[in-house]
Structure 1
Amino acid sequence: MPASSKAPTPPPVTPPMPTWDPKPVNVRPFPWLRPTIRIRLTLLYGGMFLMAGIVLLTIIYMLAANALQEGSELPVKILRGNFAATSNVCDLPSQSSGEIFTQAIQSCLQHQRAQALNTLLNRSLLALLGLTVVAFAFGYAMAGRVLSPLGRITRTAQRVAGSDLHRRIELGGPDDELKELADTFDEMLDRLDRAFESQRRFVANASHELRTPLAINRTLLEVQLADPQASPELAQLGKTLLATNERSEQLVEGLLLLARSENKIVDKKPVDLAEVASQAVDQARAEAQAKGVEMRGVRQQAFVQGNGVLLERIALNLVQNAVRYNVPQDGWVEVSTEPQQGCAVLVVSNTGPAVPAYEVENLFEPFRRLRTERTGSDKGVGLGLSIVRSVVRAHDGTITATPREGGGLEMRVVLPL
């Protein structure tokens, strides 16, 4: 009977990327024209002054026109006589009938009235324009003076964002809304400081209380496994318990590192991202050779400001994930670094199973894996990418994951210089 030939397995196909962007990025075309509260208050003050000036100028113009209209009427009627012009403002006849001469004088008075109103309007508009400029400048200065406590609150908040929770605003002055806001902010900082201090104490206590019994268990199991008189069943049980204990140790270490990496990095030093990536590759090389995964990539020197141990954890977690989640044969992992404009980039790409685009974001959640809600294999505890994202955020960086055509992922970490 002929042997049945097995059809070759087609390569995995990556699901198409979604055509919609779930998180649109709003980019201002002119960021220097940001409508701050100070500018808006200045425009409000200046606009109100301009509107009030226009209304006042209109009323004055109407009253002046009415007064000139009533004052320009002749109280007499000229019947006859000879007259001589004293100025060239109006073209008056030297000899004419009384009626024609009266009409000429009335026309002259109307012309002088219109000219006076025009002069009044022009000069009033110039004065209003100058006062409007002064009003805008005065409004800008007053708005800055009124909003100066908000600037102090903002600067304090920016310092607090750098993990300096001991700073307080302590705003003085009258008991107004801004002082109430500053006092409320100080109370919030007090509560946050106490909460973070409790978290730090918990992490320190948990680090000791959780590691100690696990280390004791590991020692007892290793001593038992070293006993040559132990039965095969007992030795197998010891190996199983030792693997379970090692997994628990990894889980504890991951949770503690995840808790510590949620805060901003204050003490930063220059770190070569290429050296960090090379150390991670060297540590994962033995595992990669055992799985038949090729390690490759070009790593250019790129210095960033950060914590060297945490940055090494970023690279190591990404490389280990790329090695463990790979294809059974002819797999590869490419690790590269390069400096760019204002930042340094670490890229880790690999062959592997197809990853749907809609599941990429879930990979960064704790204890989440592809197509499973909870971890259930021996490839790790499910905290690797969560730790990576927390450490990257603590360094003010970004991490993105993009599915590759044919399977696998491309992880791109961008860190500021």
Structure 2
Amino acid sequence: MTIRVKLTAMFALLFVVLAGVLVTTAYLFVASATTPEAQQADRQQLLEEALADQGLEIPEPAGGPSPMPSGGPGDAIGQALTDIAAQARANVLNDLLTRSLLAFALSAVVAVALAWWLAGRVLRPVDRIARAASTLSERTLDRRLPEDGPDDEFGRLSRAFNGMLARLEAAFDARQRFAADASHELRTPLAVLRASADNVLSLSRPSKQARELAEEVEIQVERADSLMSSLLTLARADDVIHTREAVDLADVAADVVSAASPRATELGVAIDLEIEDAPVLGDPVLLERLVANLLDNALRYNLPEQGWVRCRVRGEDGHALVEIANSGPELEAGDIPALFRRFSRGGQRSEVAGHGLGLPIVARVAQVHEGAVDARPGSEGGLSVRVSLPLRPSA
């Protein structure tokens, strides 16, 4: 039950109780006022008032009132009048009860309708806040509720809600700035280390120990640089404001596959590309990284010398689909969710160089573009990942 229904029930119940008390009181009052004793007392009082107005008094019999002999005609007439009065009283009370119940039922229906309307009026500010909260996302934290209403409980609630939004917006901005600044600052010492290693390797006759150390430094710098790039991608994906442009995923996939072809040839992996137009609205950098991470994941965790990768891009039922499947070691369906957690790698994948951010970036980029990711084990081993994004409206 919603709060509006509960308030309606409470208001209607209050009216029903009050109306019931009123109807019952009116019925009992009329019933007590129409008893024979009450009518006789009223007639006696009226007679006394009429005689008093004329200056007369009702004489008291010396021996007290003399009742009419039983069985006479006066007794029969009195009994008939009494029966008629009792029947009339019963008819009046029954009619009063029927009309009162009918009026009570109609009033109850009107009361429920009025209570529903009143509850809606009372809860309208809360409903406005709920609708505003349901439309919020990381990209709309700059929205605020109007605060031009009275300074009441709902006005204070709106101001408190706006204050919470302001704090959330500041927290998101601070997080994005920290991630981006930290990544950029860390790239400076990495560049220095890479330059130092290159200087050592460029010597005409470096010692064996120096060469091995320089090569190891280059490997670690390359891994650190890849990690920084991934962190920057995540920071861009988590940003509340990012670019929305017309992008064709078919063109993105073609460029990514073309750039990865030399690496695939070196690994002995065949890439099968099949693309159709799939226009979307999104951040070109993030979408390029999404496809690149999927392809890099498919090449990295593949069979040596005889592996394959299938890349399909197409539009279908209002969505742009990117499907990349590969050969490789068999995976259990229960192990796949862990692959989409940041810095999480398991099974045979832990033996391959990587930092565990490839598929989490894919999931996050799809999320900020209002899309979805579906991954399942391949029928011949490996992994099949399908990303669905909304097609561009004009398309």
Which string of whole-angstrom CA distances, capped at 9 and with x for unpartnered residues, describes residues 134-189 of structure 1? 33343333333322332443455456524344444463555544344333333333
Q: Match of 1:327, SS?
A: coil
Match for residue 104 of structure 2?
128
Q: In the superposition, relative to structure 1, how do residues 294 and 130 fare at CA in structure 2: closer, same or farther (>3 Å)?
A: farther
Match for residue 291 of structure 1?
267
Please provide the CA RMSD for this pair: 3.8
Q: Specify every segment of 5 or more residues in structure 1 that has no aligned partner in the other structure, as ranges.
A: 1-34, 82-96
**Any residues of structure 2 matched to 1:51-90 within 5 Å, and which?**
52-54=18-20, 56-57=22-23, 60-61=26-27, 64=30, 80=73
Paired residue for 2:321, among 345, 352, 371? 345
Q: TM-score, normalised by structure 1?
A: 0.71
Counterparts of 2:12 and 2:242 in 1: how far apart (Å)? 44
Paired residue for 2:376, among 402, 405, 409? 402
Structure having the larger proportion of residues in helix: 2
**Any residues of structure 2 matched to 1:245-256 within 5 Å, and which?**
245-256=221-232
Counterparts of 1:98 and 1:337 in 2: how far apart (Å)? 107
Q: What letter is aligned with 1:49?
A: F
Q: Match of 2:389, SS?
A: strand
**Any residues of structure 2 matched to 1:2-401 within 5 Å, and which?**
36-50=2-16, 52-54=18-20, 56-57=22-23, 60-61=26-27, 64=30, 80=73, 98=76, 106=83, 110=87, 116-117=92-93, 119-154=95-130, 156-157=132-133, 160-169=136-145, 171=147, 173=149, 175-230=151-206, 234-264=210-240, 267-296=243-272, 298-328=274-304, 330-371=306-347, 377-378=352-353, 380-401=354-375
Larger CA deviation: 242-251 vs 144-153: 144-153
Counterparts of 2:73 and 2:194 in 1: how far apart (Å)? 134
The structural deviation recorded for 1:242 is: 1.5
The structural deviation recorded for 1:279 is: 3.1
Match for residue 30 of structure 1?
none
Q: In the superposition, relative to structure 1, how do residues 212 and 375 fare at CA in structure 2: closer, same or farther (>3 Å)?
A: farther
Counterparts of 2:303 and 2:36 in 1: how far apart (Å)? 101
Match for residue 19 of structure 1?
none
Higher relative contact order (CA 8 A, sep 6+): 1
Is it true that 1:414 corresponds to 2:388 in the alignment?
Answer: yes
Larger CA deviation: 391-400 vs 70-79: 70-79
The structural deviation recorded for 1:387 is: 1.3
Which string of whole-angstrom CA distances, capped at 9 and with x for unpartnered residues, describes residues 245-287 of structure 1? 1111001111222233224455423333333333333333333
Judge conservation of contact 1:367–1:375 (CA < 8 Å) in 2. no
Judge conservation of contact 2:267–2:304 (CA < 8 Å) in 1. yes
Q: Match of 2:347, SS?
A: coil
Counterparts of 1:209 and 1:270 in 2: how far apart (Å)? 32
**Which is higher, the Rg of structure 1 or of structure 2?**
2
Which string of whole-angstrom CA distances, capped at 9 and with x for unpartnered residues, describes residues 328-355 of structure 1? 3543323234444454333322222222
The structural deviation recorded for 1:325 is: 1.1
Q: Match of 2:238, SS?
A: coil
Q: In the superposition, relative to structure 1, how do residues 188 and 371 fare at CA in structure 2: closer, same or farther (>3 Å)?
A: same
The structure 1 segments of at least 4 consecutive aligned residues displaced by more than 6 Å after TM superposition are 71-78
Q: Specify every segment of 5 or more residues in structure 2 that has no aligned partner in the other structure, as ranges.
A: 44-67
The structural deviation recorded for 1:60 is: 4.4
Q: Percent of pairs identical after alignment?
A: 39
Q: In the superposition, relative to structure 1, how do residues 221 and 120 fare at CA in structure 2: closer, same or farther (>3 Å)?
A: same
Counterparts of 1:157 and 1:129 in 2: how far apart (Å)? 40
The structural deviation recorded for 1:56 is: 4.3
